[in-house]
Structure 1
Amino acid sequence: MSASREKKQRQNEGLTEKQRKEQKEAQKNKVRNIIYIVMGAIVLVLIAALLIWHSGIIQRSTTAATVDDEKFNAGEVSYYYYSVKNQTVNMAKQYAQYGMSYGYDTTLEPSEQIYNQDTGETYEEYFKQTALDNLRWVVLMDGEAKKAGYTLSDDGKAQIQSAKDSIAKYSTQSGYTKAAYLKLLYGTYMTETIFNQQIEMNVLAQEYSTYYKAQFTYTDAELEDYYKENSATLDTYDFRYCFIPSNVETTKDASGNEQAATDEQKAAAQKVAVADAEKMIARVKAGEAFNTVAADYVSSDTAASFADAEYNHVTDKLGSDISSTAYGSWVTDASRVKGDCGYVESGTSGCYVILFNSRVRSEDIYQTVDVRHILIKAETTAAASDASASPSPSDSTDTTTALPTAEQLAAAKAKAEELLAQWKAGDATSESFATLANENSDDTGSNTNGGLYEGVTRGQMITSFNDWCFAAGRKVGDTGIVENTDSSGNVLGYHVMYMEKLGEIRWKYQANSDLASADYNTWYNGLEFSYVVKAVDKGMALVG
């Protein structure tokens, strides 16, 4: 026996029975206290873990996808998932406003509805796959940009800041904190840090993609060779057309509910539409005006439009513009000659009747222009107006709750004509027009730079503005006055126009774009195996 144990035994032998009991109880309490301390520490750890779990920190940091060796967590992938989902929801809502279906039901979960009927792919699967595809594209572009030493332009940096400012602005307007607003837009695991990172990555990717594609340029000889092989898509076509609908007679059941048309009923109605198309063609070939005849066969709600002799008269479309239409192949057929008139069926919904006029390689139709304008807004009563600023020619949004009267429009037009006459009576230069624009234009977007809009592309501006800019035969120095309209076609004032510069001829622009797209895609596809995206099931389950 060791000396210490002997000493302890002698001490115990000298204790009374009561002291021995007290000593045992103290030992038990000591052990119990140790157990309580350990158990308390375990409970605290568990509570902390639960708090962290419910905060989303663990889930947010869970890897949902990888692109090569780079990991992306659930919060980062959610940015791409909700970007495509939110776009789909917004489109569905816009279609619903016009009584149309976009194919997505906003009252159902994405997993409850089919995106692709052939494969059975659900919208949930589509959103996630598109998110992964878009993530891969961004990582690829960012990676290639860094390899090339490409850095963001000042415009890119401004775009990033604008996106951040918009979140701050709209979160405040909506009564949310910035953090809560981001979660509302991009899901539970979104944070301001993740959002900022993804915005910066996306802007860099978009900018580098545009920059890289712009590096592809082609000589006139190369464009000419491309034209020879693709003239049908690059030539400009002149034709008229109308649509004759098949009017299916509907029936109702005993409860008064409208019954869906049968295939037999649709076929019978289509047969009538074809017969009407043949009658119309016969009348046109006999010498009657196309639009006059069309009014007798089209739907009642469009018949009045054909009172305008130029309604549905197409004069400046390239073959590529109409290639996806039901009548595109008919119009661009190489055998087509002036005066050809025919019809093309559109399933069982009706027929297009087309009158062919011409096909040429146009050398005076342009893709982009630089244009100056002076906007003269018609006055409206102060009580009826809710806009302090006037719309730019690219803005088709209604900006007033009341429309100008005929007298107010006449006054605005008179002022526009007076300004144009004043310019013609003076130096009649670009500089003198710019001065008048700065002094008189109601367009706050251009009345400090001489009314100038540069690089205006087809379809960018409101219809009347666009049509004037891209009219066949337009020349530098041309002037005119056109109506300023809202999205419903209501006249709000007038534009005094001045053509500053003509851009690239349209067929050349399209040929260059086609060639560049092909070369860009070859480059991009060659990088396919360099940036492989893989989903991680555990993390992807948290996305959406």
Structure 2
Amino acid sequence: MAENKDKLAKLEAKYDKAYERKDALAEQIEALRKEILNESDQKKKNKLRAQRDELIKERDSIIITEDTVKIPMAPKTKKIVTAVVAIIVVIALLFTYVATGFVRKGVSGTLGWPQKIFTAYTLTDADGEKHKIKVNTYNYYFAMYYNNLQSTVSSYKQYGIDLDEANMNVDFDKKLSEQTRTEDGKTQTWLEYVQEQVEDSIKHTYMNYYQAVKDNKGKEPEITDDQKKELKEALKNYKTSAHKYGFTVSGYIEAAMGHGVTKDVFVREATIAYIAENYESDHKEDSETKTYTDKELEAYKKKNEAKLQSVDIKMFECDSEDDAKAFKKALKADGSNFADLASKYSSDDFDKKANKNPVETTYKDINRISMEALSFALCTADDKDKDKYPGLDWLYSADRKAGDVKQDSTTVVYVIKPAYMSKTKTVNVRHILIAPTSSKSSDDSSSSAKDCTDKEWAKAKKTAEKVLAKYNEGDKTSESFATLAKSNSSDGNASEGGLYENVVPNQMVPTFNAWCFDSSRKAGDVGIVKTEYGYHVMYFEGKNDQAVWQYIAQQKLSAQESEEKEDAVTLKKNWFGSRYCEIDTDIDA
């Protein structure tokens, strides 16, 4: 009995300090507001509103000034006893809800304290140190991934991408646990898939975060001023939305992102993500500049020579297998009409014109690693074994010879030069993208440069010519070109002066690629190239010392080291805590 009294006394002290009356009422009001939002029955809705209004009156009747605290309710002793009893009831309900699987709908779920207290996962870092990942952290990442998934699916629909083909056919009006997806022969529910992605995100982010803290002598590194500004702006937007719907900022964020994800949790998790992102970026730069010995590179080459070899080919993707068969049948033995056929079987007017240029369908010096990343049917992995590529096995076989032709589903490929070990070096290049503006863009967000009229393309070309003329009028240096890129380019790398480093053959779209790897190209060369994205004002920085295969080997070795470090980090689920993690589509329940 005495032991129970001690426990009650500790509970009284803990909750008397943790919750002031107004805060407790505010939480109850927020919980009711959420229930009202999600309740479809009008009678129940009205009843909940009445309860909410009573609690608001009670909250407003509590007067707190510098001199007095007026609580026109039951005495403090009764409040403590009620609080203790309530906690005991919550603890009793806790196990009931866990047992029945409805904890998220329960009283404890509504209050949000289990999400702040309980551990969802334990992360063990590469040094063997253990770190607790709270439930509200999981809920934050779940909401972020879920919202991003919705946005991605919406974008796919907008751009006419087949959801089944992209393996993104998920219905957000149904529970994720009631829908399945299959990838690489593995079938799982969408909920299981999302949970795996969330776990990977948490592991990756927190691995980098804790390493960043260790490398900074145990202190949390500062985030950048721009990141602080972004975070401040996000909170400002949340505040506006919260007030619009009658929420506090914490209440609004929790309603949107799940139980326990308050304003403080949002700020904390966003800060941790920024720190992890900064560390990974710095670490990536270190990895990219890390050099391996010739012996190490040669050893990688010997082991992976088949994937490092290049071919020269002509290749086109048709809209159907019937078209591909007709294409192959009409193709001349010397491949001389390949471009004409590509133009004929192109699906839109822009490509019909563009593909008349043989450069658009010619891939010179393309290695197998690069081919595996392409979306051609020929480059597709085997359904039963994702490590096998039947089409590429044919293409890079020692049996291949110039003039060989293959139709693989919708792909037609013509061999110009069979597999060889290239000596081509990577290059650095700058560009300024002048994209034509379509008159449709204001009404159709899916419109692109391809939709622009000849007049709009002509206008873009004229602008590109003016930019190049301005460069030629100046001191004609890399720095002056970079300055022009920052103020004129519409490409994402404009802030970096339009610079692309260590470009490998066929990394860029065909005409861009052909300009970069023209055998006559030398440092300081400039020009204008047209691609499906617009006109590119080009500047050639020069060739690098490393051959393409050496650069790829270096990147692969570096990635291998990073993978080994990440594999050393583990994330173990806590069964009890995970009962409070958000599931399915009702993240705002």
Aligned residue identity for 1:164: L
Q: Cα–Cα, structure 1 residues 142 and 40, in superposed 2: closer, same or farther, change >3 Å?
A: closer
Q: Is the 8 A contact 1:476 1:499 kept in 2?
A: yes
In structure 2, C-alpha distance between the alignment counterparts of 1:292 and 1:397, rounded to whole Å: 25
**TM-score (ref. length: structure 2):** 0.62
In structure 2, C-alpha distance between the alignment counterparts of 1:496 and 1:299, rounded to whole Å: 27
In structure 2, C-alpha distance between the alignment counterparts of 1:223 and 1:170, rounded to whole Å: 51
1:376-415 deviations in Å (ceiling 9; x for gaps): 788999xx998xxxxxxxxx988x9999657745643553
Aligned to 1:334: 398
1:16-69 deviations in Å (ceiling 9; x for gaps): xxxxxxxxxxxxxxxxxxxx9987764465579889874423444333223355
Task: Choose the corresponding residue for 2:253, options 179, 182, 207.
Answer: 182
Aligned to 1:92: 153
Aligned to 1:110: 176
Q: Is the 8 A contact 2:135 2:577 kept in 1?
A: no
Task: Choose the corresponding residue for 1:310, options 359, 362, 366.
Answer: 359
Aligned residue identity for 2:340: T
Q: Is the 8 A contact 2:136 2:261 kept in 1?
A: yes
In structure 1, C-alpha distance between the alignment counterparts of 2:207 and 2:562, rounded to whole Å: 14
Q: Is the 8 A contact 1:236 1:318 kept in 2?
A: yes
1:94-134 deviations in Å (ceiling 9; x for gaps): 22221521222222221121134866532222322433343
Q: Cα–Cα, structure 1 residues 379 and 401, in superposed 2: closer, same or farther, change >3 Å?
A: closer
Aligned to 1:498: 539
Q: Is the 8 A contact 2:430 2:539 kept in 1?
A: yes
Q: How does 1:159-198 map to 2 (within 5 A)?
A: 160-171=227-238, 174=241, 178-180=249-251, 182-183=253-254, 186-198=257-269
Q: Is the 8 A contact 1:378 1:404 kept in 2?
A: no
In structure 2, C-alpha distance between the alignment counterparts of 1:329 and 1:507, rounded to whole Å: 19
Aligned to 1:230: 304
Aligned to 2:549: 507
Judge which range, 82-91 or 458-467, deviates more: 458-467
Q: Cα–Cα, structure 1 residues 412 and 338, in superposed 2: closer, same or farther, change >3 Å?
A: same
Task: Choose the corresponding residue for 1:65, options 117, 121, 125.
Answer: 121
Aligned to 1:412: 463
Aligned to 1:479: 526
Judge which range, 113-122 or 71-80, deviates more: 113-122
Matched, 1:199 2:274: no
1:175-200 deviations in Å (ceiling 9; x for gaps): 66643553355323212322233233
In structure 2, C-alpha distance between the alignment counterparts of 1:464 and 1:357, rounded to whole Å: 16
Q: CA deviation at 1:136?
A: 3.3
Task: Choose the corresponding residue for 1:355, options 399, 414, 418.
Answer: 414
In structure 1, C-alpha distance between the alignment counterparts of 2:200 and 2:465, rounded to whole Å: 56
Q: Is the 8 A contact 1:377 1:412 kept in 2?
A: no
Question: SS at 1:497's partner residue?
Answer: strand
Q: Is the 8 A contact 1:342 1:353 kept in 2?
A: yes
Matched, 1:371 2:410: no
Q: Cα–Cα, structure 1 residues 498 and 90, in superposed 2: closer, same or farther, change >3 Å?
A: same
Task: Choose the corresponding residue for 2:140, options 76, 79, 94.
Answer: 79
Task: Choose the corresponding residue for 1:239, options 287, 306, 313.
Answer: 313
Larger Cα-atom Rg:
1
Aligned residue identity for 2:402: K
Q: CA deviation at 1:365?
A: 4.4
In structure 2, C-alpha distance between the alignment counterparts of 1:501 and 1:210, rounded to whole Å: 25
Matched, 1:121 2:188: yes
Aligned residue identity for 2:188: E
Aligned residue identity for 1:284: K
In structure 1, C-alpha distance between the alignment counterparts of 2:362 and 2:249, rounded to whole Å: 51
Judge which range, 457-466 or 355-364, deviates more: 457-466
In structure 1, C-alpha distance between the alignment counterparts of 2:464 and 2:566, rounded to whole Å: 52
Aligned to 2:561: 519
Q: Which runs of 5+ in 2 are unaligned?
A: 1-74, 91-106, 125-129, 374-378, 381-390, 584-589
Aligned residues: 450
Question: SS at 2:488's partner residue?
Answer: coil
1:439-482 deviations in Å (ceiling 9; x for gaps): x9534999999956364867999958954774344431111123
Aligned residue identity for 1:100: D
Judge which range, 163-172 or 88-97, deviates more: 163-172
Q: Is the 8 A contact 2:359 2:514 kept in 1?
A: no
Judge which range, 403-412 or 284-293, deviates more: 403-412
Aligned residue identity for 1:336: R
In structure 2, C-alpha distance between the alignment counterparts of 1:535 and 1:116, rounded to whole Å: 27
Q: Cα–Cα, structure 1 residues 175 and 190, in superposed 2: closer, same or farther, change >3 Å?
A: closer
Q: Which runs of 5+ in 1 are unaligned?
A: 1-35, 248-271, 345-349, 387-395
Q: CA deviation at 1:240?
A: 1.0
Q: Is the 8 A contact 2:346 2:352 kept in 1?
A: no
Question: SS at 1:513's partner residue?
Answer: helix
Aligned to 1:260: none
Aligned to 2:499: 453
**TM-score (ref. length: structure 1):** 0.66
- Counting aligned pairs with the same residue, the percent is 21
Q: Cα–Cα, structure 1 residues 129 and 307, in superposed 2: closer, same or farther, change >3 Å?
A: closer
In structure 2, C-alpha distance between the alignment counterparts of 1:160 and 1:211, rounded to whole Å: 16
Q: Cα–Cα, structure 1 residues 150 and 351, in superposed 2: closer, same or farther, change >3 Å?
A: farther
Q: Cα–Cα, structure 1 residues 42 and 157, in superposed 2: closer, same or farther, change >3 Å?
A: same
Q: Is the 8 A contact 1:167 1:178 kept in 2?
A: no
Q: Cα–Cα, structure 1 residues 335 and 150, in superposed 2: closer, same or farther, change >3 Å?
A: farther
In structure 2, C-alpha distance between the alignment counterparts of 1:155 and 1:362, rounded to whole Å: 45
Q: Is the 8 A contact 1:371 1:501 kept in 2?
A: no
In structure 2, C-alpha distance between the alignment counterparts of 1:94 and 1:44, rounded to whole Å: 49
In structure 2, C-alpha distance between the alignment counterparts of 1:44 and 1:121, rounded to whole Å: 44
Q: Cα–Cα, structure 1 residues 158 and 444, in superposed 2: closer, same or farther, change >3 Å?
A: farther
In structure 1, C-alpha distance between the alignment counterparts of 2:437 and 2:429, rounded to whole Å: 28
In structure 2, C-alpha distance between the alignment counterparts of 1:39 and 1:441, rounded to whole Å: 68
RMSD over equivalenced CA pairs, Å: 4.8
Question: SS at 1:336's partner residue?
Answer: coil
Q: CA deviation at 1:167?
A: 1.8
Q: CA deviation at 1:173?
A: 6.5
Q: CA deviation at 1:218?
A: 0.7
Q: CA deviation at 1:77?
A: 1.2
Aligned to 1:285: 333
Question: SS at 2:332's partner residue?
Answer: helix
In structure 1, C-alpha distance between the alignment counterparts of 2:235 and 2:78, rounded to whole Å: 45
In structure 1, C-alpha distance between the alignment counterparts of 2:505 and 2:235, rounded to whole Å: 32
1:210-234 deviations in Å (ceiling 9; x for gaps): 5556455312332233223323322
Aligned to 1:319: 368
Q: Cα–Cα, structure 1 residues 477 and 168, in superposed 2: closer, same or farther, change >3 Å?
A: same
Q: Cα–Cα, structure 1 residues 238 and 169, in superposed 2: closer, same or farther, change >3 Å?
A: farther
